[in-house]
Structure 1
Amino acid sequence: MRRLGGRNTLERLARFGYGARGFVYCVVGGLAVLAALGAGGRAGDSRGALRTVFGGPFGPVLVGAIALGLAGFAVWRAVEAVTDADRRGTAPKGLAVRAAHLVSAGIYGGLALTAASLSLGLGMSGGDGMRDWSAWVMARPFGRWLLALIGAAIVGGGFGFLWKAARGDVTERLLLGDTQARWANPIGRFGYAARGIAFLIIGGFLIVAAWYQRSSEVKGLAEAFALLRRQEYGAWLLGLVAAGHVAFGAFGLIQARYRHIDAPDIDEADEAAARAIRDLT
């Protein structure tokens, strides 16, 4: 496919997707900050953020645009994982990152469908997605252990985020000058730290659910915020982690503009995927 303005279709989808994801987390964090301040906000998750945007000016149009962006991000994550567009390689660490990107593709693809349904006036399903799938997992043979393994993987991802916040190079894939990197770096570190804390709590919920074999123990970001709020100095803890989610969203907007994206052309993606599969075998 011919490049337009030096960018192909997949790259445009990826940048739109980073922007949409960033906007959603800015809303998630902003609402939680208001809740911590007692200013009328509600500490919720991405679905709650979509409802808030939907209820505002031009809500259906904005949520529809978010749906398109999240769908693009899901496509990019899948392509990124299968074709190894970021050159992660086939070492254990690289394969783990690529596997996480595949999981991310599924999560954001589902959120895109939720946003599209809301934008079209179909509303959101009444069930709890995390509890529904965890109940399905536990109903399978060895499902309890599989759920515990998923929870442990999420906890591991949380520690990975925290390590990246403390010691990693969060701007390594951003095409930034020294001055730009100086202000983007602390935003990214703060955002990754907040996501790491959230992952630790959510993964812990999954492990507890597996231990007690009760899907009702499975909880998401909204409940993670609520747990922080119930601790001593809870308003401060919630405010700090909420502000970190705003930073994570802002960093997503920075990624939308400055991230290096080596996306294959659509008509070359199947060839790139075939090469990656051959490398794995």
Structure 2
Amino acid sequence: MTNLTLPTQREVTDHVRRAVRRASPFVEKFARVGYAAKGAIYSLAGLLALMAALGQRGGETSGARGVMQRLFDQPFGLFLLGALAAGLACYAVWQFIRVVEDPERVGNDANRLMKRIGYFGSGIIHSALVVSAINLLLGYARHGDDNASARGWSATLMSYPAGRWLVAAIGIGIGVYGLKQIYNGFTAKLDRIDVSPLPRAARRWVCRACQFGLAARGLVFAIIGTFFALTAYHKRPSEAKGLSGALDTVREQAYGPWLLAIAALGLIAYGFYEFVKAMYRRITVS
């Protein structure tokens, strides 16, 4: 009988890296399509929230799954949702490539490790969105509310030993990430964007819009992270919230419609930021 020799982890990693390098022109296109798909999600979520803030018919606070359902319900919805799902799949692939290959090699070792953990989490989240889109396309299920999704997996995690602490860690991580995005927005630390081809006046306004969007999304994520931390603290999965829940929280405050309108404009600006990344981000696949 022939002995079967399994490849080592290093051999597998080297093989993946060689494959990525050979496919580098396609990988860059995947990344840009992915950024555009992510921009579409946030722009549409912001537009729906702005309509809700202005009392317009059809407006609602919605997460990514709600946006996909609204797209699917439109004329040519099958095509629109299919295109969005393909774009989100491209983004998930790009995130997983960043985990394995680390093509952009930024920061020290500890910082790099944290970034790669973040890329992995982002890849998982966007893969789940692709699965949700496919379910819609195949008619297996209507969209699930993102709050219900957050509560569901929080309850699942908390059913395991130490699951409560894992939910708390996730909440703290989301909150810290949100605060970092707020900081990056205020300090103009944009993600490897080169808008030098644009006229100087246009560059200034593009960067300001991107900063506003980054800070607004950071605030929304800080709210989401806070609710996950409270979920763990109170041992109540029902307190977990997604994007729509965070926007509802904003609307429930004093001057809620005004605050919701500002948050909605921020999400639209963040979607614009992702479109800018799709066009002008420096993407390295080495």
Answer yes or no: same fold by TM over 0.5: yes
- State TM-score, norm by structure 2: 0.86
- State TM-score, norm by structure 1: 0.87
The equivalent residue for 2:166 is: 146
The equivalent residue for 1:38 is: 55
Q: Decide whether the 8 Å contact of 2:33 with 2:91 is kept in 1.
A: yes
Separation of aligned partners in 2, 1:171 and 1:187: 14
TM-superposed deviation, 1:7: 6.5
Aligned-residue identity in percent: 37
Q: Decide whether the 8 Å contact of 1:22 with 1:248 is kept in 2.
A: yes
Separation of aligned partners in 2, 1:2 and 1:229: 45
Q: Decide whether the 8 Å contact of 2:92 with 2:126 is kept in 1.
A: yes
SS of corresponding position for 2:190:
coil
Deviations 1:44-66 (A, max 9, x none): 11111111111112111110010
Deviations 1:65-88 (A, max 9, x none): 100110110010111122111212
1:87 to 89, 97, 105: 105
Separation of aligned partners in 2, 1:54 and 1:125: 10
TM-superposed deviation, 1:3: 10
Separation of aligned partners in 2, 1:90 and 1:81: 15
Q: What code does the residue aligned with 2:149 have?
A: G
Q: How many residues align?
A: 263
The equivalent residue for 1:276 is: none
**1:47 matches 2:30:** no
Backbone CA RMSD of aligned residues: 2.2
Separation of aligned partners in 2, 1:137 and 1:145: 9
Q: What code does the residue aligned with 2:163 have?
A: G
Separation of aligned partners in 1, 2:254 and 2:192: 37
Separation of aligned partners in 1, 2:41 and 2:176: 24
TM-superposed deviation, 1:91: 2.6
Deviations 1:252-276 (A, max 9, x none): 1111111111125xxxxxxxxxxxx
The equivalent residue for 1:275 is: none
| CA shift in 2, pair 1:140/1:240, >3 Å | same
SS of corresponding position for 1:131:
helix
Q: Decide whether the 8 Å contact of 2:171 with 2:229 is kept in 1.
A: yes
1:117 to 102, 110, 135: 135
TM-superposed deviation, 1:90: 4.3
Flag the structure with larger Rg: 2
SS of corresponding position for 2:257:
helix
The equivalent residue for 2:44 is: 27
Please identify, of 51-60 and 175-184, the stretch whose mean Cα deviation from structure 2 is larger: 175-184
Q: Decide whether the 8 Å contact of 1:60 with 1:120 is kept in 2.
A: no
| CA shift in 2, pair 1:174/1:106, >3 Å | farther
